[in-house]
Chains A and B, each alone.
Chain A
Amino acid sequence: MTELDTRPAPARTDVDDLVRPDRVSGAVYTDPEVFELEMQRIFREGWVYVGHESEVPEPGDYVTRRIGREPVILVRSKDGEVRVLANRCSHRGNRLCNAEKGNSSTFRCPYHGWTFTNAGDLVGVPMRQGYAERFLAVREELGLAPAPRMDSYGGFVFASLTAEGISLREHLGSATGAIDRLLALSPTGTLDLRAGWMKHRMRCNWKMVMENNVDGYHALFTHQSVYDAVRPAKVSHVPTKVEVYVRDLGDGHSEIDYAAEYTRLDDEFVWFGRAPREKLPKYVAAMEEAHGPEATHKAFVVGPPHTLIFPNLFLAEMNIMTVEPLGPGETIAYTTPALIPGQDEMNERMLRRTEGAMGPAGFLIADDGEIGMRNQFGLAAREPEWIQLSRGIETDIEDETGIVNHDKSAETPQRGWWKHWSSVLNGRAPGAVSGSTGEERA
């Protein structure tokens, strides 16, 4: 007699079958096992962007976020330290903090009343006699779980849910230059990410949302309505007419770099609707005071980065975008402007620019979301198996900045993304936590 094998199929432990240097399988966006492997190797073991220090300026300030699917609290504790704590009561697991943001010296669990300080220490256990002799040990051991690794760069806070691995600086690699480029536009060298986050539910894979941001090929088509009906592109989209480069920065990070073109033009604020200096007198004065006229002119010409930082942070010029993956075909995209502390005239313009371009009603992103959804629909057809990423592969140039292509529409950034993605999912990226996935999840 034949017995039915009811054991579940073994979970995926690598993606060797899905990624080639010039193409990837459609399954990278649709396979639930790929998604599970990403949750482990990228979102538990790797560095993930969580929030910004400016969101928690005062002791007690907190915001609640997720790392992958896991709820965390980003909080500035009473000692002034920024911490990332699991948003899970250590008694029986209740989600402790249920507001999106706030200020509190303690978190009290509504289930049985356990109370934790904003540094995560357990300080209150109602009816403590119930623990008899063991009470002190219980109180000592059951603080909120801190993210095993946490670090920041330029105010951007990253965490990892695994203790071992490379440092944040190693993870960021040369992408720190993009954060520096953004901070160079602030007289104080700091940003303010408190205008509010647009949360846009997109019916597509999180990677589609992220890598589309460095796709220099789609704009003329996906965004034709903007260029036709509203305003021409800030610089030409014809590759031979402009010095706009795409770059694989290594480590999964990549960008579209307008710096050379803007520098050639030597015009300020091309990236900011060509606003003349006279419209921003306070900002210009503060910048010149802080950085001197030469560096200020350069910053105004070169403008902000258009850089994707693996896995979930996109420096979208003067906007910050991050994603929360909900499932293989569902993602929430979060967007807010990178406001400049104290520069109200500049910031109000920035709000209007963010609303114009980004989010669920934005002139650009609403259409990117629609195209992403249709891409997900299309991938339900299993043939042909491969998605093509070979555009420009023969004209890629390697230099000290990474792999560069002088054709903005080359798929160089995507090739860099997938190369790194597959090495992470295969457990072969630098500092990978070996042997900690398939077995652990089984």
Chain B
Amino acid sequence: MTVTAREAIDHGAQATRPEAAVEAFLYREARLADEARYSEWEALWDDDGVYWVPMGPDDDPHVNLSYIYDNRRRIKSRIAQLNSGVRHSQTPPSVMRRTLANLEVLDRTSDDRGTTVTVGANFALYEYRYDMNIWAGRVVYAVRIRADGELRLVAKTVHLVNAGGPVPTLAFLV
């Protein structure tokens, strides 16, 4: 399921804060991305995960080009490339710190794989590589609370404030 940025914005009125376990999971995801802990970050994903960075808030990935639209297989490839040590655009990795704010539960659904909590948040990301780049945007996560109690990422959609471009190199985990 995909919540667009527009829907994420419209949802605000009845939104609540996510439960502590989900919130902690998202902060951990942010920290692993910041610290270029690629394999640990990859392990957060479930096998049907989709990592998406669209070029416009109303874009349809089946019709429109995105900056990133990784299915689970491509997430694996992306991480393997980053782990190779010769992904030049991340060698050495960007030094990064990001903050998540305004966390709100936008949706909650259940199926035989567990309960999926959709969380919207704003983020600011400070990336240092030769000089400082500041990235910001809306991020929408779908976190699955599995029957075994484990949490996994099913979707992460990043609506960059500067999605309209031009954007500098985005080879790190945004």
Q: Which residues of A contact B (CB under 8 A)?
A: 100, 195-203, 222, 224-226, 228-231, 332, 336-337, 344, 348, 351-352, 354-356, 359-361, 363, 366-367, 369-371, 373
Contacts and interface: CB of A to CB of B under 8 A. Distances in A.
Report which residue of A222, A231, A361, A371 has the largest number of chain B beta carbons within 10 angstroms of its beta carbon: A361
B134 to A, nearest CB: 14
Which 7 A-B pairs rank lowest in CB-CB distance, beginning with the nearest?
Answer: A199-B165, A229-B80, A199-B166, A370-B89, A225-B84, A201-B166, A366-B171
B81 A229 contact: yes
A34 B31 CA distance: 45
A197 B67 CA distance: 10
A355 B87 contact: no
Contacts of A226: 81
Contacts of A344: 62
A229 B88 contact: no
A367 B89 contact: yes
B146 to A, nearest CB: 28
Contacts of A354: 65
Chain B, interface SS category: loop
A200 B162 CA distance: 12
Interface in B4-21: none
Nearest to B165: A199
A230 B80 contact: yes
Given A195-B65, A224-B86, A336-B65, A369 B169 contact: yes
A14 B124 CA distance: 48
Interface of B: 53, 55-56, 59, 61-69, 74, 77-78, 80-81, 83-89, 130, 164-171
Nearest to A332: B166
Contacts of A332: 165-166
Nearest to B80: A229
B88 A199 contact: no
B169 A355 contact: no
A191 to B, nearest CB: 14
Contacts of B88: 222, 225, 367, 370-371
Nearest to B64: A196
B168 A360 contact: yes
A9 to B, nearest CB: 30
Given A200-B166, A332-B166, A361-B67, A369 B77 contact: no
A352 B166 CA distance: 20
A202 to B, nearest CB: 8
B169 A360 contact: yes
A198 B68 contact: no
A361 to B, nearest CB: 4
A369 B64 CA distance: 23
B55 A198 contact: yes
Given A199-B167, A200-B169, A229 B77 contact: yes
Nearest to A319: B65
A230 B81 CA distance: 7
Contacts of B166: 199-201, 332
Nearest to B55: A196
Contact of B84 (A228, A348, A370, A373): A228
Contacts of A197: 65, 165
Contacts of B167: 199-201, 360
A100 B55 CA distance: 13
Contacts of B67: 198, 355, 359-361
Contacts of A229: 77, 80-81, 83-84
Given A332-B165, A355-B66, A361-B170, 13 more contacts: A195-B63, A195-B64, A197-B165, A198-B55, A198-B65, A199-B165, A201-B167, A224-B84, A332-B166, A360-B170, A361-B53, A367-B89, A370-B171
Contacts of B168: 200-201, 203, 360
18 contacts: A195-B63, A195-B64, A197-B65, A199-B165, A199-B166, A224-B84, A225-B84, A225-B86, A228-B84, A229-B84, A332-B165, A336-B65, A355-B69, A360-B67, A367-B89, A369-B89, A369-B169, A373-B130
Contacts of A336: 65
Nearest to A222: B88
B56 A352 contact: no
A276 B104 CA distance: 45
Contacts of B69: 351-352, 355
A99 to B, nearest CB: 11
A332 B85 CA distance: 27
A348 B170 contact: no
B86 A228 contact: yes
Report which residue of B55, B77, B81 has the largest number of chain A beta carbons within 10 angstroms of its beta carbon: B81
A363 B75 CA distance: 11
Contacts of B53: 361
Contacts of B74: 352, 356
B158 to A, nearest CB: 11
A225 B91 CA distance: 11
Nearest to A354: B65
Given A196-B55, A355-B69, A366 B170 contact: yes
Contacts of A100: 164
Contacts of B85: 225
Contact of B65 (A203, A225, A351, A371): A351
A251 B166 CA distance: 30
